[in-house]
Amino acid sequence: MKDHKLERHIAMLKEGDNSAFDYIYEQTNRTVYFCILYIVREKMTAEDIMQETYVRAITSLGQYGAGTNFSAWLCTIAKSIALNHIKKYKREVPTDFNEQSHKYGSAETHLPYIFDLASKILAEDEYEILMLCQVAGYKRREVAQMLGIPIGTVTWKNNEALKKLKKHIDKEGGV
């Protein structure tokens, strides 16, 4: 099972086998990234915070309780760092280009627009589930396990989020 293998690699990392980190990172990076991106809403900042999250996680790996939800533990660290970043830089005024980049060019800017739109019109749990299922590529059962909620709830919230987003985009005339 995936969690058992992840736990084994975590134990290996705790014992000093740094090669185990590659597997741990591959299994958790998408969840951590979208957890951070939801808060900071800027790709480069999210990537920086993600690096800091893993550094902090490795240095405090002894605090992780084996058998608990490692992804949730990492997301807790990531959210803390992201929120501290927001507090520190909340006085900075964004430029118009950064705030409304979807208006300035190519199709590459449509996805950030959709992510931004989704974060504005969806509830936090709907947005998180949508990002994990549709963008990060996790299966609904994996998301249910990560978030500790029933798979039916994940399926329903994912479908509702997609309907809301589609309805809003159709109403506004598309991307």
DSSP letters spanning 14-41: HTT-TTHHHHHHHHHHHHHHHHHHHHH-
Does the domain spanning 102-175 belong to CATH 3.30.2350.10?
A: no
Q: What is the CA radius of gyration of the chain?
A: 18
In angstroms, rounded to a whole number, what is the distance separating the alpha carbons of residues 85 and 106? 30
Does the domain spanning 1-92 belong to CATH 1.10.1740.10?
A: yes
Query: Which residues have CB under 8 Å from 75's CB, separation 6+?
Result: 31, 32, 35
Specify whether the CB–CB gap between 35 and 78 falls below 8 A: yes
Phi, psi dihedrals of residue 85, rounded to the nearest 5°:
-60, -45
Show pLDDT as tens, one digit a residue, over the chain (175 residues).
457 899 999 999 999 999 999 999 999 998 899 889 888 888 899 999 999 999 999 999 999 988 888 988 998 999 999 999 988 887 654 544 444 444 444 444 455 567 778 888 898 888 888 888 887 778 888 888 888 899 999 999 999 998 998 888 888 765 5
- pTM passes above 0.85: no
Specify whether the CB–CB gap between 143 and 133 falls below 8 A: yes
Farthest CA pair distance, the chain: 56
Every domain of the chain and the residues it spans = 1-92, 102-175
Q: Among candidates 2, 18, 124, which has minimal Cα distance to 71?
A: 2
Token representation of residue 78: 């990531």
Token representation of residue 56: 């902090």
| The residue to which tokens 């589930």 are assigned | 129
| The residue to which tokens 């992804």 are assigned | 71
Query: Which residues have CB under 8 Å from 14's CB, separation 6+?
Result: 61, 62
| The residue to which tokens 């994940």 are assigned | 154
